[in-house]
Structure formats: C-alpha cells, structure tokens
C-alpha cells in the first residue's frame, strides 16, 4: 500500500467546515460551513468553485441527490434548501422545522428527502413537487442524523 497523497486543496470558506459530500456523477464536492455558505468545488483545477448564499445561519449538512443534479442543505436557520449545483446557485427553501435542521438525506431513488432537527422531528419531503409530506414526532430529544431509509 502507498501512503495517501494530497490531490487538491480547497480554500474559500470563512469559518469552520461542518459537512462534505462527494458527487461521483458530476465530479464535484459540496461543503457547508459555519459561515452560512454552501460551496461546490470542481475536481478540475482550472474550474472555479461556486459559493451559494441563502442560509441565514450555519450550514449543518449537505448532500447531493443520487443523480448529482440537486444538492440539499440544512441549517441552524431552521430551513432546508434544494440547490441546482450550477453557476446561478438557485435554490428552493423548505420551511417546516421549528429548530436547527441537523441533517438531510435523499432516498436512493432521489424522489424524497429526509430531514432531522433539534425540534425532535424527522420530516419527509417530495423532491419533484418540493412539498412537505409528513412528520415523525416520537423522539424525546434532538434528532441529529437522517439517512436514506425510504
């Protein structure tokens, strides 16, 4: 076995990085930060990174959809955003949580999104219609992580 080597160094956030996700389909890395920004990093050295601004507080979780055509982000501002990972950085805001959203996760088919929050709930959203579907409210404390179990 060879020792690991540094492939690329990414620099651009203004505060601690809180979350990373790698999209194998589009050769990009997404990062969320305490600086309230989401960044998309391209693996090609000559390609610029995209900085997405929209959250009002720290970004706690980022995840690419299975196709790589969408990116979800969660924030301490109690919102979830769905981004199109392109130069424009357009997003749709999902609001239903009453506490920090800690985690986002796409279903394996990319049709639904699961979010976990300090409001002690898990919420399920439809990606295509961008609508809230239902909430799971039986937790007695914060829910820190969501995973693609749907």
The CATH number for 112's domain is 2.130.10.10
- Judged against a pLDDT cut of 50, whether residue 107 lies above it is answered with yes
Q: List % helix, strand, coil for the chain (3-state, nearest 5).
A: 0, 45, 55
Whether 6 maps to a domain, the answer reads no
What pLDDT does residue 143 have? 66
Whether 4 maps to a domain, the answer reads no
Q: What's the whole-number average pLDDT of the chain?
A: 87
Whether 1 maps to a domain, the answer reads no
Whether 36 maps to a domain, the answer reads yes
pLDDT (tens digit per residue) in 139-149: 676 667 777 65
Whether 3 maps to a domain, the answer reads no
- Judged against a pLDDT cut of 70, whether residue 133 lies above it is answered with yes
| Tally of structural domains, the chain | 1
| pLDDT (average), residues 101-114 | 93
Whether 146 maps to a domain, the answer reads no
Whether 53 maps to a domain, the answer reads yes
What pLDDT does residue 104 have? 95
User: Residue 117 is part of which domain span?
Assistant: 17-136
Instruction: Answer yes or no: pTM beyond 0.85.
Output: yes
pLDDT (tens digit per residue) in 66-97: 998 999 999 999 999 999 887 788 899 999 88
Whether 45 maps to a domain, the answer reads yes
């Amino acid at each position: 076995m060879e020792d690991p080597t540094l492939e690329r160094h990414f620099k651009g956030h203004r505060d601690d990085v809180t979350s990373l996700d790698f999209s194998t389909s589009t050769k990009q890395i997404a990062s969320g930060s305490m600086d309230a920004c989401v960044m998309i990093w391209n693996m090609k050295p000559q390609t610029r990174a995209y900085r997405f601004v929209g959250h009002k507080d720290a970004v706690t979780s980022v995840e690419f959809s299975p196709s790589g055509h969408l990116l979800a982000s969660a924030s301490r501002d109690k919102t979830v955003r769905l981004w199109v990972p392109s130069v424009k950085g357009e997003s749709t805001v999902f609001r239903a949580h009453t506490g920090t959203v800690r985690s986002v996760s796409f279903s394996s088919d990319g049709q639904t999104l699961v979010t976990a929050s300090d409001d002690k709930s898990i919420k399920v959203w439809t990606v295509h219609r961008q609508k809230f579907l239902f909430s799971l409210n039986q937790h007695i404390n914060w829910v820190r992580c969501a995973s693609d179990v749907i």
